[in-house]
Amino acid sequence: MSSSDSDSRDASVSTPHANFIRHLIAQDLASNKHGGRVHTRFPPEPNGYLHIGHAKSICLNFTLAAENSGLCNLRFDDTNPAKESQEYVDAIKDNIRWLGFQWNGEVRYSSTYFQHLYNFALQLIEKGKAYVCSLSPDQGREYRGTLTEPGRNSPDRDRSVEDSLALIARMKAGEFNDGEYSLRAKIDMVSPNINMRDPVLYRIRHLEHHQTGSEWCIYPTYDYTHCISDAIENITHSICTLEFEDHRPLYDWILHNLELEDLCKASDLGDSMESGYVLPEQTEFAKLKINYTMMGKRNLLEMVETGTVSGWDDPRMPTLAGMRRRGFTPASIRNFCESVGVSRSDSMVDMSMLEFAIRDDLDKTAPRALCVLRPLKVVVTNIETGHVEHLDMANHPKDETMGRRVVPFGREIYIDATDFEEIPPPGFKRLTSGGEVRLRGAYVIKCEEIIRNEQGGIAELRCTADMETLGRKPEGRKVKGVIHWVSAEHGLNATVRLYDRLFNIENPEGKEVLDYREGLNPDSLVELKNCIVESSVANAEPNARYQFEREGYFCIDEKDSRPDELVFNCTISLRDSWTS
């Protein structure tokens, strides 16, 4: 993969907007709540690739820290070895760097805190705040009650401290099977908040872990692990998405029922209590949702596993790996994340906002080039065979610093088949039989003759060029249309992949849809094999991006493209094809 994007490490966005979390942090700084510190973290579970929703959380956490001279950790929340892997760990690190962010210090793993977490579990048992329960997972669910019915106490709820301590030691030693016992917090089985009904803190799982190997066969739950990991890392603002709002009382309960002094000792601050140890606080914001796409990791994984897409980095995927391969720039994703804002109410963002962000960025940064997607040969009869003109063209219409290039022009060129109409519809401004059109950066040509193939289709056009029209208006007439072209002798063959939305329904994961597969767009990928691109792109870097004039923004596919067999991905068309 090309590293040219990530090397800059310039994670700025165009315009930072006010939001409630920025406001909250400003208040905490004003009241000196955490001794003036801002320390956030991004806590992915390594059970899939990052998607554009994660990018929002990454941008938020890293930007809030950077704006306040704070720190942001990267912590893998790796408590469920069944679904996690090193491949995901590596991809997540790579994607975050590519987005332009660098975490504070070493990468963290919740699993490195397993011993601390276990010690704290013993502490809760000793205080009578947790007990070992023998209900099976199914029974546990049954005893828990529902939103409308209170839960029931486990028959083991009043197990003695000694018995629970003995049992957890045996659980840890591997004496029991999965599901035989669990450790539960002793809170309140009739709480209106189901999360507070004696939640499970530890479960038995005889599984290898990608970081800790076979060291543990009991694994802590997410809720138990997350708050303690935050405390150990001295996180000040633990920012997460709204579905955890109802978990916040548990987050606070766990931390407040542990000995502050011991938390402090386990933390990065060590024994230095005087440096002002304040427990982290959780704040929730609404998840990013974008229409015509989906972000459920389970569904994305299924699409990969069933071959519905070519992999996590399929350019149609909403993953950062996919968007990168598609040609998105890190800046466009950061700007998009900033522009959608941060709020506490769920809403659906329109895909066009993401498209605007990438067009806006590439318009400024992508050099222009000529590429004919559906070639139709044109012979310019008044130019001699073998004669080549070297035309000088700007790489960017508004930015001289992007330089100029030489584009060869000769007797045989290709134009796009859709730029010629024998029987033009009203308002058609491009080439017609007997009509004139300007070739971009070159001459005005006139179509004199249509050469047909055996089936009667158009095989090629015979045209003449008005040699007085290079950089000059034609005399005595108006020629409105401008089309792109490539010299047949010099152009390079290329495969171009055009992408449409992966789904043709607004909310493939919505309640009204039985299965996301119903909404898959069968035409989301169209591969054009015989495109002709101007020769100046021959030595482009993998992932180099261009605007192919009049078509859209394209990048070289970093996996499949070869110097002698170029493959381009269409990042985004020039116009909004969805709504027009």
Binding site for ligand ATP (CB under 6 A): 43-45, 47, 53-54, 56-57, 240-241, 287-288, 295, 297
CB of 53 to ligand ATP, least distance (A): 2
The three-state secondary structure class of 302 is helix
User: Toward ligand ATP, which CB reaches closer, 159 or 316?
Assistant: 316
Between helix 86-99 and helix 330-340 the angle, nearest 10°, is 80
CB of 19 to ligand ATP, least distance (A): 13
CB of 50 to ligand ATP, least distance (A): 8
User: 74: Cβ–Cβ under 8 A, 6 or more apart, which residues?
Assistant: 41, 42, 44, 93, 96, 103, 104, 107, 108
User: Toward ligand ATP, which CB reaches closer, 130 or 321?
Assistant: 321
User: Toward ligand ATP, which CB reaches closer, 45 or 156?
Assistant: 45
CA 556 to chain centre: 19
User: Toward ligand ATP, which CB reaches closer, 44 or 508?
Assistant: 44
**Buried b or exposed e, range 16-29, using 16+ CB within 10 angstroms:** eeebebbebbeebb
How many residues appear in the chain? 580
User: Toward ligand ATP, which CB reaches closer, 44 or 491?
Assistant: 44
CB of 56 to ligand ATP, least distance (A): 4
What does the angle CA 441 – CA 442 – CA 446 come to, to the nearest 5 degrees? 130
CB of 434 to ligand ATP, least distance (A): 56
Phi/psi region, residue 53 (left: phi>0; alpha: psi -120 to 50; beta: rest), is alpha
CB of 343 to ligand ATP, least distance (A): 11
Decide if 446 contacts 492 (C-beta within 8 A): no
DSSP string, 468-507: T-TTSPPTTS----EE-EEETTT-EEEEEEEE--SBSSS-
CB of 515 to ligand ATP, least distance (A): 18
Positive or negative, the CA dihedral 424, 428, 429, 430 is: negative
- Give the residues across from 41 on adjacent strands: 73
CB of 454 to ligand ATP, least distance (A): 56
User: Toward ligand ATP, which CB reaches closer, 45 or 188?
Assistant: 45
DSSP string, 344-390: SS--EE-HHHHHHHHHHHHHHHPPEE-EESSEEEEEETTS-TT--EE
What does the angle CA 135 – CA 139 – CA 145 come to, to the nearest 5 degrees? 120
User: 536: Cβ–Cβ under 8 A, 6 or more apart, which residues?
Assistant: 369, 405, 406, 407
Question: In whole angstroms, what is the distance from residue 198 CA to residue 26 CA?
Answer: 36
CB of 64 to ligand ATP, least distance (A): 13
CB of 280 to ligand ATP, least distance (A): 14
User: Toward ligand ATP, which CB reaches closer, 58 or 570?
Assistant: 58
**Scanning the structure block, which residue is given the tokens 């090193």?**
86
Question: In whole angstroms, what is the distance from residue 484 CA to residue 466 CA?
Answer: 17
User: Toward ligand ATP, which CB reaches closer, 44 or 220?
Assistant: 44
Neighbours of 542 (CB within 10 A): 13
User: Toward ligand ATP, which CB reaches closer, 230 or 534?
Assistant: 230
Question: In whole angstroms, what is the distance from residue 439 CA to residue 422 CA?
Answer: 18
- Residue 130: phi and psi, rounded to 5, are -155, 155
The one-character DSSP state at 286 is P
Residue of closest CB approach to ligand ATP: 53
CB of 531 to ligand ATP, least distance (A): 36
Neighbours of 345 (CB within 10 A): 7
The one-character DSSP state at 424 is P
Question: In the structure encoding, which two tokens stand for residue 552, read together?
Answer: 């859209």
- Give the residues across from 482 on adjacent strands: 438
User: Toward ligand ATP, which CB reaches closer, 172 or 287?
Assistant: 287
User: Toward ligand ATP, which CB reaches closer, 107 or 479?
Assistant: 107
Decide if 357 contacts 33 (C-beta within 8 A): no
Neighbours of 386 (CB within 10 A): 8
CB of 359 to ligand ATP, least distance (A): 23
User: Toward ligand ATP, which CB reaches closer, 225 or 464?
Assistant: 225
CB of 249 to ligand ATP, least distance (A): 18
User: Toward ligand ATP, which CB reaches closer, 226 or 405?
Assistant: 226
User: Toward ligand ATP, which CB reaches closer, 42 or 554?
Assistant: 42
User: Toward ligand ATP, which CB reaches closer, 41 or 368?
Assistant: 41
CB of 373 to ligand ATP, least distance (A): 34
CB of 295 to ligand ATP, least distance (A): 5
Question: In whole angstroms, what is the distance from residue 40 CA to residue 58 CA?
Answer: 10
